[in-house]
Amino acid sequence: MKMPVKPRKKAQSKEKAAIIEVFNVHVIFPNQDRYDGECTRTEDGALERNGYGTHTTHNGLIYTGQWKNDKINGAGKLEHPSGAIYEGEFKDNKFHGTGTYTWPNQFKYIGSFNENKLEGEGKFIDSEGYEWVGTFHNRAAPALKLKMDM
């Protein structure tokens, strides 16, 4: 006669999920750059930017947005002293994903970026307000079409 087999309980991990402590810091770097925002500790105890914060360089470049592993990652806004502004997605300190880049002369590109390059479908708005749509590859945009409102 066979005895019924009881189901085994899954082994439960003795490890508990590590609680990550988030610090709000104000840091002035040796080159006079500043960071105000969230940080966490690495395994070796160093602080690194993770979460939301603002980094201002000594020459006036300002980034406000998401950080991950001490790099600009996620949504944010980068303002250049010249007046140029990028607002959108970042990956590993580069424009990457969907965003809007506005030049100091108010020309504007709205669309896809790949590692700091205009890449994919997008819209360019000139100083007169005309919208040009098409596919962009870095600085080239063959066959742009003027969008007409009728």
Pair (77, 92) in one structural domain: no
- This prediction has a pTM of 0.82
Mean pLDDT, all residues of the chain: 88
Residue 9 lies in a domain: no
Dump pLDDT digits (tens) for 100-138: 999 999 999 999 999 999 999 999 999 899 999 999 988
pLDDT of residue 18: 67
Pair (92, 66) in one structural domain: no
Dump pLDDT digits (tens) for 44-66: 989 999 999 999 999 999 999 99
8 A C-beta contact, residue 114 and residue 121: no
Pair (75, 96) in one structural domain: no
Whole domain around residue 124: which residue ranges?
88-149
pLDDT of residue 139: 76
